[in-house]
Structure 1
C-alpha cells in the first residue's frame, strides 16, 4: 500500500495552533483534539495511490483555502425544510443557531441540545462519549473533524424513552473557501426509540466534513435519514460510526444529491446477538458530480443480520462508487448478511464502480453480494 502524501505543515499546523489558542474547554477535550490532529498528520493527505482512496479524486479540494468559516446570518427562507419538524436543531457554519432551532414537547428522559450547551452544563457527559466508538481510525477527514469541530448536536435517550416525532438537524454552510466540521453524537440507551433526519446544505464553495456517532444499546431502535444536498461547488467528506447492542435494530437511509464531490464512509459494528441493520443508499448525479459510499459492516456476534442496498442514477459525466465489505468473525455463527449495488446510467459517459466484498470467517452463515449496471 502506498503511503499518503505528507501533510503540508505550513497549511494545517498554524491553523490548528491558532484555533487551540482561542479554545476555553476542559483539558480532556483539548487532549482529544491534539490527538486527532496528530493522527491527521500521521495519516497524511489521501492520494489515489492508496487503495481506500483510488476512486476519490481530491485534486480540486487541494486548491480550497480551508479557512475557518466566520459567523454569517442566514435567513429562514434559505432553509426550505425549516417548518417540517417539532424537534429541530440548526447549525450555521458548524455553530448552533438558536433562532432557527425549535425544541418543544420533549418527553421525559430525553436530551436534545447542542454540544456547546451540554458542555456548559455537564462537561463530563460529552468528554466521556466523544470518539469512544470504534471506526474511522484511518479516515483523515474524520481526524480533522476531531481536531477542529466547534459545535454539534447531542441526542441522548435514557432507557425506554420513545420519541414520537422525528428530530430534524440541519447543517448549513455559507461558503467562501471555508471548511466546516459538523458533529452529531447520538446515544440510545436500552429499549429507546428515535427517528432522526439530518440535512447538509449550503451555498458557494466549501468543505463540510462531518462525523456522526450512533450508539444503539440493547433492544433500542433507530431510524436515521441523511440528505446530502450541498451546493454545486461544495465538497462533502463525512464519516458515520454505528455500534449496536443485543437485539437492537437500525435503519439508515443515506441520500447523496449535491456537491461536486461527496463521499460518506460508514462503519458498523454489530456488537450483540440478534442485532440487525438495514443500510440503504442512493446517489443521483449529473454534470461532473462524483458520489461515493464506502461501507464496512462487522458481525461480531451470532445471529446478526445486515441488509445493504445502494443505488445510483447517473447522467452526463457523473460518477459513483460503492465499496462495501461484510466481515463475519469466527464465532458470529448464524449471521445473515446481504449486499447489493444497482446502477442506472443515463449517459454513455457516466460511470458507476461497484466493489462488494465478503470476508467470512464463520462456517454457518447466509451471506451474499451482487452488483448490476444498466
Structure 2
C-alpha cells in the first residue's frame, strides 16, 4: 500500500494537487475535514524537529537525554536475541547457589563503527540500574521495556534480572591516567570501584587509607578530626592532600591512636608503597558486595575497550585476568561487559 499527498473533494483526487484522478486507483479520505490542511510531520508521535543525540556517550546522563534514549530505543529482532542471551546468563548467576562453580560473567560486545554497541551498552546500564526517571511522568527504566518486549515470560525474566545491582558505566579512555604499564586496566577498574564506594578516585593510595578507616569503623571520625584541625572538608581537599600534609598527619594520628612520626612515615610513603594486584582488587569487590547483602551484584560496563587495548597483548591479558579472577572469587556476583569496534579486513585470492 502506498500513500501520496493530494487534494480530495469527496469525489475526485488530484495527486500532489496537480495530477488528475484516473481509473486505476482509488482515493480515501484519511484526515477529517476539520484537521486539514495536513502536514506530514503531524503523522508522527514525536516532534521530528526535536534534537537527537547523534553520538551516544557513556558519560552523558542528563534527565531529558536518558528519557529520550529509553523511550525511543527500538528492540530489533537481532537485539531481542542479544537481550535474551544476556538476561539468560545473568539470571543463571542470580539463581546460582552458594558454592557453585564460577560461570559466565564476562561479555564482549563487538561490532563495526556506528553499529549501536555503545547504545546497547548504555541502555543495558539503564535497565540493570533500574532507576526512576522523570520527564512528562515518572517511570522506572524497566517499564519502558514493557511495550518493547511482547513476550510476557521474557519480560518477567527482565524484571527479575534488575532486582538488586550496582552498575558502573564508563568510557575506559576517559578514566585512564597518563601513565602506562601492564596494570593500566586494573588501575582504571580500581578507580571506578573507589568512586562507587565514595573513596578517592584519583588517589588510589588515599582511597586505600579510607577503605582501612571504613573497615575499622573510623572513617567518620577521621573526617571530623580533619575538619576540626584544618577547618575544611576532607572530601573537598583529599585529592590535594599534599598541601595540607601536617593536618592530615595530625588527623591520622588522632584517629588511629598512632604516634605522629608513624603517621608521617605512612603518609610520605603511601603512594610509592601502594601496589594493588588483581587478587586484592577482587577481594575489595567481594567486601563491597558482602556489605550490600548476599544478592547484590556489581556490573562493570566498559565502553571502547577494543580501541583502548589496540594490539597491546599485555593490556588484553590484564583485562582477561581481571575478568577471570572476578568470576572465581566473586562467584558471578560481579560482571564485566565491554564493547569493541570491529574493523573491515580485505583479502585477495591467490
Structures share a fold, TM > 0.5? no
RCO comparison, higher one (Cα < 8 Å, 6+): 2
Instruction: Please report the TM-score for the alignment, with normalisation by the length of structure 2.
Output: 0.26
Task: Determine which structure has the larger helix proportion and give its number.
Answer: 2
Task: Choose 1 or 2 for highest CA Rg.
Answer: 2
Task: Determine which structure has the larger strand proportion and give its number.
Answer: 1
